[in-house]
A = this chain, B = another copy of it.
Amino acid sequence: MHRIPVGVLGASGYAGRELCAIIARHPGMALAFATANERRGERARLGGAEVRFVAHDDAPLTSAELVFSALPHGASATWVERVRNVGARVVDLSSDLRPGNGAAPVPYGLTEVTRQQLPDASVVANPGCYPTAILMALLPLVRRGLVAPGATIIANAASGVTGAGLSPRTDLLFGEVTEDFKAYSVGNTHRHLAEMRSVLAANGGDADLIFTPHLLPVARGILATITVPLTRELEDPLAPWREDFAGEPFVEIDAEPPTLRDVVRRNVVRISARHAAGVRQPTLLVLSAIDNLVKGAAGQAVQNANVVLGINEPTGLPT
């Protein structure tokens, strides 16, 4: 198989390392460069291959047909522009170009939902980890008009600490996180809300959304527990996802609620749904689980890159 040269900007963080590891095992991609300013000149073993980090400014941008940017939010957009100017495609894992963030709209890479927009894209905004888990759980209901008019959807979610990045923060030390659990961005203030609201609205959603993320004492994984007031009880509560995602290799629908263990190190979203018993308002409990670094970041980015580059979509992705 021909290996298409790709580059990674911001390769030393959790998402960047995961990208390098997936690329190392991808039969259709070759890593042209990996940048990391603070670790320039260092080597790391990622996915069974040795990677040597260079400074961002030393990246041979023109050597790659496609560049993944795992640079921090705010810093990424400028580099996306540079890469486009030399004619390479970009998959941007930052939030800079995602819907709801005020930037000029670019294709959004929630692959199973938006894949027809991707083949010609020069840049793809890769979804956030929480939005991936929550939108895949909500869109089949929203698009069918099943959400009760004027309702409030409650999305509680919990993420492993790699979601907070590989930065030296005291509150993320092992001694602080072990045996703890807490909510953050309480009051509906998380920066992923605009992205979720924007995509829901574009799909006909009218409901309000309350999103409360939590920090779990685990390395990887997101579990979202979502409560959706419905217009009516569903005969088969799994039918909307079974229909929308029939044949999708990276979407698993099951009557049993998903656990982190079902999804970590895999490029899948796993979804379950049950009606809440004993309440007057018909309400569905939808549970959705992903690995925040794989389907929630690097895996979906490679899935999008496969579509952009004309590679068979599941190629190189861990299942």
Contacts and interface: CB of A to CB of B under 8 A. Distances in A.
Given A48-B319, A174-B217, A283 B152 contact: yes
A276 B188 contact: yes
Given A152-B281, A217-B218, A319-B48, A223 B174 contact: no
A295 interface: no
B274 A219 contact: no
B287 A188 contact: no
A220 B174 CA distance: 11
Interface string A249-284: 000000001111100100000001011111111010
Given A154-B154, A217-B218, A276-B187, A260 B181 contact: yes
Given A48-B319, A227-B154, A277 B178 contact: no
B168 A223 contact: no
A102 interface: no
A132 to B, nearest CB: 17
A191 to B, nearest CB: 13
A199 to B, nearest CB: 16
Nearest to A218: B179
Contact of A279 (B48, B161, B188): B188
A283 B162 CA distance: 30
A179 B14 CA distance: 16
Contact of A217 (B169, B212, B217, B277): B217
